[in-house]
Structure 1
Amino acid sequence: MDSRALDRQARTQNQSVESMIPSDVLLLFVAASAALAVSPGPDNIFVLTQSAMHGRKAGLLVTLGLCSGLLAHIAAVALGVAALLQTSAIAFTALKIVGAAYLLYLAWQAFRAGATQSLSAAEASLSARSLYVRGIVMNVTNPKVAVFFLAFLPQFVDPARGAPSIQIITLGVVFMLTALVIFSGIAWGASRIGTWLRQSTRAQIAINRLAGTVFVLLACRLALSRQA
Structure 2
Amino acid sequence: MPSAPTLAAFAGASLLLILFPGPSMLFLVARGAAGGRRVGVMSALGVGSATATFVLATALGLTAVLATSALALSVLRFAGAAYLVWLGIGVLRSRATTSAPEAPRLTVRQSDWTSWRQGYLVGIANPKVALFFLAFFPQFLDPARGSMTGQILVLGVVFVLIGLVFDTSYGALAGTISTRMARRRGRKRSARGKVAIGLTYIGLGGFTAATGSRAL
Structure 2 equivalent of residue 49 of structure 1: 30
Determine which structure has greater relative contact order: mean sequence separation of CA pairs < 8 Å that are 6+ residues apart, divided by chain length. 2
Structure 1 equivalent of residue 128 of structure 2: 144
Question: What CA deviation, in whole Å up to 9, does each residue of 1:118-153 have, x standing for no partner?
Answer: 9xx999436111111111101001111111111111
Q: Does the 8 Å CA contact 2:36/2:175 hold for their aligned counterparts? A: yes
Q: Does the 8 Å CA contact 1:115/1:201 hold for their aligned counterparts? A: no
Structure 1 equivalent of residue 182 of structure 2: 197
CA distance in 2, matches of 1:122, 1:35: 43
Q: Does the 8 Å CA contact 1:65/1:134 hold for their aligned counterparts? A: yes
- Which 5+ residue runs of structure 1 have no aligned equivalent? 1-19
| Percentage of identical aligned residues | 37
Q: Extract structure 1 runs of 4+ deviating beyond 4 A.
A: none
How many residue pairs were aligned?
Answer: 206
For residue 210 of structure 1, the aligned residue among 178, 189, 196 is 196
TM-score by length of 1: 0.83
Question: What CA deviation, in whole Å up to 9, does each residue of 1:152-207 have, x standing for no partner?
Answer: 11111111111111111111111000011111221222122221123333431222
- Cα deviation, residue 31, structure 1: 1.6
- Confirm whether residue 77 of structure 1 aligns to residue 58 of structure 2: yes
- Which 5+ residue runs of structure 2 have no aligned equivalent? none
Question: What CA deviation, in whole Å up to 9, does each residue of 1:77-135 have, x standing for no partner?
Answer: 112221233221111111112111111110111111216439xx999436111111111
TM-score by length of 2: 0.87
- Cα deviation, residue 54, structure 1: 0.9
Once superposed, what is the RMSD of the aligned Cα atoms?
Answer: 2.2
Q: Aligned AA for 1:196?
A: M
The structure number with the bigger radius of gyration is 1
